[in-house]
Amino acid sequence: MNLIELERALRQLRLGGIAAVLETRLRQAQAETMAPIDLISCLVTDELTRRSQRLLDRRRQQAEFRDPHKTLDNFDFTFNPKMNRSLVFDLATCAFITKREDVLFLGPGGSGKSHLAQAIGQSAIQQGYRVLYRETHVLLDDLAEAVVDGTRKEFMDSLTTTSLLIIDDFGMRKLPLTAAEDLLEIIMRRYERASTLLTSNRPVDDWGKLLGDVAAVTAMLDRLLHHGHVLKCGPRSWRTKAAATAAGSAQ
């Protein structure tokens, strides 16, 4: 079996990581007089690295982040210095997911809630958790479509089993009449089974009016906050700052 045939056989065995570097590793083995066990070790490590990276890439795609480049590394904590950064980094360890706890980010628009939520999601994926990101109105639209398609049960089951569900921008848009009932069901299904991270630009006192169902909101908050962490973002807005800077530059 020559090199081309060996590479083809490796790919048939789904060992594409080894196949991709086989020729390079063979040349390295000749140049360094590498022992057979060391060569095999390098090839197996290459395969494991490739598989791990592909799994991470697949989970990032499945998460469907709105801004996949948002991480803790590019978040400016100095903009809102009173923010509890200790809590943020604690959440980034994802211990709350292991404990099946929930998280609530509150603050005005543009204060970094979505950035931090997606950054926590990225950290969770790095640590092997399945993550799903949805803006609130999109999540409810997806659920409505599942009802029409007759796949509501399957959709709700998939939501329940996701390690971290990020529900972003609650309160940003007008929601359907069934929003309170649907959101409560999602929170109840996930309560003490999996972690939910919800962001909102509206104080919790406004949620009853926003959803038109005080009882449902009370039940939802009772579960979110029972084992929950609350991060208050703001008060300054990145978007307001950017707009002011742009206006100043134009003068």
Using one digit for the tens of pLDDT, what is the confidence trace for 1-50? Answer: 888 889 999 999 999 999 999 999 999 999 998 999 999 999 999 999 89
Task: Give me the count of residues in the chain.
Answer: 251
Burial 16-32 (b: 16+ CB within 10 A, else e): bbbbbbbeebeeebeee
Report which DSSP code applies to 72.
G
For range 92-96, the mean pLDDT: 97
Give the span between the Cα atoms of 27 and 7, in whole angstroms. 15
Residue 251 has pLDDT above 80, yes or no: no
The enclosing H or E element of 133 equals strand 131-135
The model's confidence at residue 243, banded by pLDDT at 50, 70 and 90, is very low
The tokens describing 76, both together, are: 């400016």
The tokens describing 69, both together, are: 């480049």
Single-letter amino acid, residue 230: V
Whether 121 and 101 have beta carbons less than 8 Å apart is answered as: no
Residue 170 has pLDDT above 50, yes or no: yes
Q: Which of 149, 162, 127 is closest to 55 using CA atoms?
A: 127
CB atoms within 10 A of CB 181: 13
Instruction: Find the distance separating the first CA and the last CA of the chain, reported in whole Å.
Output: 72
For 212, how many CA atoms within 13 A lie in the half-sphere containing its CB?
8
For range 218-247, the mean pLDDT: 74
Q: Which of 200, 182, 190 is closest to 224 using CA atoms?
A: 190
Give the span between the Cα atoms of 101 and 33, in whole angstroms. 53
Give the span between the Cα atoms of 121 and 61, in whole angstroms. 12
The model's confidence at residue 79, banded by pLDDT at 50, 70 and 90, is confident
Whether 118 and 132 have beta carbons less than 8 Å apart is answered as: no
**How far is the CA of 214 from the CAs of 56, 69, 100, 184, 203, in angstroms?**
40, 37, 25, 11, 14
Report pLDDT for 238.
54
